[in-house]
Amino acid sequence: MSNNTNRRSFIGFSFAAVAAAGAVPMLIGMKKAWDPLPSVLAGGFTEVDLTTLKPGNPATVEWRGKPVFVLKKTAEMESSDRDLIVGEDRFTVAIGLCTHLGCIPAWKKTAWKCACHGGQFDASGKQTFGPPPRPLDLPEFGLKGNILVLGETGPEYKKLMTAKV
Ligand code: FES
């Protein structure tokens, strides 16, 4: 083999190595581009382990860019047709946006109070004071055992949709 052929082979191998090395980050970049964005994933389904909730202390989770309140009711809290019953426990699940003009009400021991115009919602999400025209809205959800899956449309959700608060 001549010196020229060796040089050409060397240049050819070097080029292939550089091309291969460049392909890896390119493939990683392409995969990143194809994978759903974290915001899209967060926008689909949100799971809440109901066993982690303390009675009377609602969790606020994000689902499709909205706050959702999940409250495990205490024994003293009034029951409602819109309670989600899981085993012995009753839960309120509601979109955490005031039904007046969309502010986020804050939990104050036994009720959600809206700072914008003084609206108030009880532990079942029912409007009890001020301008809100209706109860807090229900998010779509399903149940997998003790896991609440926001974004599904389970039979429990359909049942609560027809209930009165
Ligand atoms: S937005 Fe809540 S009372 Fe007006």
Between CA 46 and CA 143 the distance in angstroms is 12
Contacts of 79 (CB under 8 A, 6+ apart): 73, 90, 124
Phi/psi at 12 (nearest 5 deg)?
Answer: -60, -45
> What is the DSSP code (8-state) at residue 85?
E
Q: What residues does ligand 1 touch, defined as CB less than 6 Å away?
A: 98, 100-101, 103, 114, 116-119, 130-132
Most confident of 14-18, 27-31, 41-45, 84-88: 84-88
Question: What pLDDT, on a 0 to 100 scale, did the predictor assign at position 10?
Answer: 56
Handedness of CA 86, 43, 66, 101 (dihedral sign): negative
Mutate to test the pocket of ligand 1, among 95, 98, 120, 129 (most ligand atoms within 8 A of CB): 98
Mutate to test the pocket of ligand 1, among 95, 100, 108, 128 (most ligand atoms within 8 A of CB): 100
Look at 2-6, 19-23, 39-43, 77-81 and tell me which has the smallest mean pLDDT: 39-43
CATH 2.102.10.10 fits 42-161, yes or no: yes
For 57-81, what is each residue's pLDDT tens digit?
A: 999 999 999 999 999 999 999 999 9
Angle in degrees, CA 109, 154, 52, rounded to 5: 40
Distance 115 CA to ligand 1 centre (A): 7
Q: Rounded to two decimals, what is the model's pTM?
A: 0.75
Mean pLDDT score, 138-160: 95
Question: What pLDDT, on a 0 to 100 scale, did the predictor assign at position 163?
Answer: 80
| The two structure tokens encoding residue 13 | 């191998």
